[in-house]
Structure 1
Amino acid sequence: MKLYIIGSVGSGKSTLARQLSHALRVQHFETDNFVWQRQEGGDVRNAEPVRDAQLLSAIAQKDWIIEGVHIGWTDKAIQTADIVIFLDIPYHQRTYRCVVRYLKQRVGAERSNYKPSLSMLLKMFTWNRYFEETMKPVFLEKLELMPDKTWVFKNRRQINEFLVEQVRE
């Protein structure tokens, strides 16, 4: 199975990818980890050819789950996927999740790939708004061209029903 998950910050992409990866025993990838070389002193942006090669290496595998919010350079993975999931969780709920995530990370209850700072929380708010106003319409337009393999989920109940169905198959 090749599955691509799209959604804004706070939509539940990583959580869903981990759940599906565990249930289906399929490796999952975060597009952020193609973009960034994770280093203890701070992340360094990969050159585009490195980023693109990592994406192509992931989609060359027999089965995979890729999740992310990046657009344009990820089109090959979206086109290659058997199923594309768009997490269209309401804006206010994503914002709330960003705050909860920040608080959990600050007290050490949740791990992060970045330093959980107030400036990072503010960036998440900015990214969330940008997704809602700019990226979401572009993604939805792209996904209209592939209705047979696209699922749009607006709440946790719909996601859970999908999870149960996938695990049964």
Structure 2
Amino acid sequence: MKNKIPNKIHIIGSVGSGKTTLARELSSMLNVPFYELDNVVWKRHEGHEDIRRTEKEREEYLNTLISSNTWIVEGVHNEEWVSNSFLNAELIIFLDINYSVRTYRIIRRFLLQKLRLEKSNYNPTLKIFFKMFKWNRYFEEVGKPNFFKKFGDYDDKLLVVTNKKELENYFT
């Protein structure tokens, strides 16, 4: 049986899990806009340092985005300010990609960004590079258990994905 194609999708996963890539692909396939939660947290200023939004600003901004009829939101965040996105999503995709695969992707992404073969919303410094490993470990040990503790009761709309084939099976 074919699944109903959702209009509101929240994608969550660790650094290097493929959230942005998946959001881009689904956005193109479904003709639905996608939003990166990092760009909700930060006001981006090309050529200048980014400015962190206040908790109230980012919650209001996110609520504005998810008030539309169609959207894809992606990010690592599962704090209280994103709870409306999980609540309003028709599908929550949890990318539970193998830790070593994510580690490899972090290294690959950094090299591609440094070689200017891949665009980034931030300056790919060594400091950020090493933070990504820290964030990856933190998500595995804290973020993932917290997500299932807080939002595990959405199991009727939760799709836990460990590989691309599981996604393909859902959308075909």
Do residues 76 (structure 1) and 89 (structure 2) align? no
Match of 1:141 among 145, 149, 154: 149
Does the aligned pair in 2 maintain the 1:143–1:150 contact within 8 Å? no
CA deviation vs aligned residue, 1:74-119 (integer Å, no higher than 9, x gap): 0111011000000000111101100000000010110001111111
Amino acid of the structure 2 residue aligned with 1:29:
Y
Which secondary structure does the structure 2 equivalent of 1:21 belong to?
A: helix
TM-score relative to the length of structure 2: 0.92
TM-score relative to the length of structure 1: 0.93
| Alignment partners' CA distance in 1, 2:12 and 2:38 | 12
Match of 2:134 among 126, 135, 139: 126
* Aligned position for 1:65: 72
CA deviation vs aligned residue, 1:44-93 (integer Å, no higher than 9, x gap): 10112211111010110011000011122101110110000000001111
Match of 1:27 among 16, 28, 33: 33
| Alignment partners' CA distance in 1, 2:129 and 2:144 | 20
RMSD: 1.0
* Aligned position for 2:112: 104
| Alignment partners' CA distance in 2, 1:156 and 1:100 | 19
* 1:43 positional shift: 1.1
* 1:161 positional shift: 2.8
CA deviation vs aligned residue, 1:15-55 (integer Å, no higher than 9, x gap): 00000000100011111111001112221101122111110
The range that moved more, 93-102 or 46-55, is: 46-55
Structure 2 residue ranges without an equivalent (≥5):
1-6
| Alignment partners' CA distance in 2, 1:159 and 1:105 | 27
Structure 1 residue ranges without an equivalent (≥5):
none
| Alignment partners' CA distance in 1, 2:148 and 2:22 | 19
Amino acid of the structure 2 residue aligned with 1:55:
L
| Alignment partners' CA distance in 1, 2:17 and 2:128 | 17
Does the aligned pair in 1 maintain the 2:55–2:81 contact within 8 Å? no
Amino acid of the structure 2 residue aligned with 1:87:
L
* Aligned position for 2:51: 44
Do residues 7 (structure 1) and 9 (structure 2) align? no
Q: Percent identity?
A: 46
The range that moved more, 134-143 or 74-83, is: 134-143
Does the aligned pair in 2 maintain the 1:58–1:64 contact within 8 Å? yes
